[in-house]
């Protein structure tokens, strides 16, 4: 009898010891930006739309041959989509609700041509496989292919996302996107809130190696006084292009994010940061913390290391807040809700 009592006492003690830990683990998992392991797959459309990848790639090849700078527009649109309520193509919606593109961080930052590109590709996909391939997958895969076509690494993105039927509010957009005026603390906090670490922050900032910036944003580094972030001669050149800001001609003007290899995806951005010829305060801010400064220096010397981390970080970015399974919809046209 004593042995029986001891056995039950031991079992009860073990249950009390392990139950709180199990409960905490369950609660912790609910807060992580983790998708179910089976939700996305490389060959997701293998049976339902076997030509999906081929269709998207062939269209992006045509786009990049005509205008290589469109690669930067596609990648930026993907980033701005994924950072706001997840990679659900909500950023492409133009009606009937208020579009995310009219929020301040997106105005003149995103290219209208990107919507046209994705809508055209989606029309080809609908003709081949009606109601199968999502706009979210179309955008993510298009961006990944475009990056590779202009010199970047191959990014083996997984597929299986579904689309949102509604756009995020302006307040949600503003609250989620990092500002070009952020310091390193603000940048780390914003990326951490999306499940991304310092390596992801520095690697994804490398997307500033191509594309354009509007003078209205660059002007913040030039007035009322020239920022200490900028090389003096470089700032003088920017001022000739972008100032005075109230000049209508300059108000719509843009400058290359990288003046040397502006349509190529490479590691030149990190050299620009070190040489004080990167455009935004958020670029220079990467030198404010030892860990991010070390990464900038390493990527400036070693493009292969940058590419390897960029692939990892892009995959993490592409899986933020995805809708899968029975969640979300498949929009027939990416710019409008079904």
14, pLDDT greater than 80: no
Higher pLDDT, 322 or 3: 322
Q: Which residue has the higher pLDDT, 3 or 121?
A: 121
Q: Binding-site residues for heme b, please?
A: 208
pLDDT for res 273? 98
Rounded mean pLDDT of 58-66?
A: 98
Phi, psi of 270 (to 5 degrees): -70, -35
pLDDT at 252 > cutoff 80: no
CATH of 184-314, one of 1.10.800.10, 3.30.1540.20, 3.40.50.300, 1.10.420.10: 1.10.420.10
8-state DSSP, 95: B
Note whether 257 and 210 are within 8 A (CB).
Answer: yes
Query: Is residue 318 pLDDT above 50, yes or no?
Result: yes
Pick out the residues of the known binding site for Ca(2+).
81, 84, 86, 88, 90, 100, 209, 258, 261
Task: Show me where the domains of the chain are located.
Answer: 52-176, 184-314
Q: Is the pLDDT of residue 268 over 60?
A: yes
- Catalytic site includes residue 80: yes
Q: What are phi and psi of 184, to 5 degrees?
A: -65, -35
Average pLDDT over residues 286-309: 98
Q: 242 and 253 in contact (C-beta within 8 Å)? A: yes
Q: How far is CA 228 from CA 222, 277, 323, in A?
A: 10, 11, 43
Which one of the listed residues 38, 46, 53, 80 is annotated catalytic? 80
Binding-site residues from annotation for substrate: 178
Closest CA to 132 of 71, 47, 70, 212: 47
Identical topology for domains 52-176 and 184-314: no
* Confidence at residue 107, expressed as pLDDT on a 0 to 100 scale: 84
Fold that domain 52-176 belongs to in CATH: Peroxidase; domain 1 (1.10.520)
Q: How many CB atoms lie within 10 A of CB 91?
A: 32
What per-residue confidence (pLDDT) applies to 4? Answer: 40
pLDDT averaged over every residue in the chain: 88
Share of the chain above pLDDT 90, in %: 76
Paired with 336 in beta bridges are: 95
- The pLDDT confidence band at residue 338, using thresholds 50, 70 and 90, is confident
């Amino acid at each position: 009898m004593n042995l029986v009592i001891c056995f039950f006492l031991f079992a009860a003690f073990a249950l009390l010891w392990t139950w709180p830990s199990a409960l905490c683990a369950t609660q912790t998992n609910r807060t992580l930006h983790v998708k179910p392991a089976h939700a996305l797959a490389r060959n997701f459309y293998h049976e339902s739309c076997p030509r999906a990848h081929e269709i998207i790639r062939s269209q992006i090849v045509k786009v990049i041959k005509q205008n290589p700078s469109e690669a930067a527009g596609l990648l930026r649109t993907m980033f701005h989509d994924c950072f706001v309520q997840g990679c659900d193509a909500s950023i492409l919606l133009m009606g009937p609700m208020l579009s995310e593109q009219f929020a301040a961080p997106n105005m003149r930052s995103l290219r209208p041509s990107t919507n046209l590109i994705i809508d055209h590709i989606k029309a080809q996909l609908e003709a081949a496989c009606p109601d199968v391939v999502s706009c979210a997958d179309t955008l993510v895969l298009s961006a990944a292919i475009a990056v590779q076509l202009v010199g970047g690494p191959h990014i083996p993105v997984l597929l299986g996302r579904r689309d949102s039927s509604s756009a995020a509010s302006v307040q949600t957009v503003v609250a989620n996107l990092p500002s070009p005026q952020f310091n390193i603390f603000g940048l780390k906090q914003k990326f951490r809130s999306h499940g991304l670490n310092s390596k992801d922050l520095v690697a994804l900032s490398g997307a500033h190696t191509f594309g354009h910036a509007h003078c209205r944003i660059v002007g913040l580094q030039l007035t009322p006084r020239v920022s200490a972030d900028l090389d003096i001669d470089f700032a003088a050149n920017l001022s000739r292009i972008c100032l005075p800001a109230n000049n209508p001609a300059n108000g719509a003007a843009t400058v290359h994010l990288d003046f040397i290899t502006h349509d190529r995806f490479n590691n030149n951005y990190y050299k620009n940061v070190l040489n004080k010829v990167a455009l935004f305060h958020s670029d220079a801010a990467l030198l404010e913390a030892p860990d991010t400064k070390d990464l900038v220096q390493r990527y400036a010397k070693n493009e292969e290391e940058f590419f390897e981390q960029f692939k990892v970080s892009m995959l993490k970015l592409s899986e933020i807040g995805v809708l899968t399974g029975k969640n979300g919809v498949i929009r027939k046209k990416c710019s409008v809700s079904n």
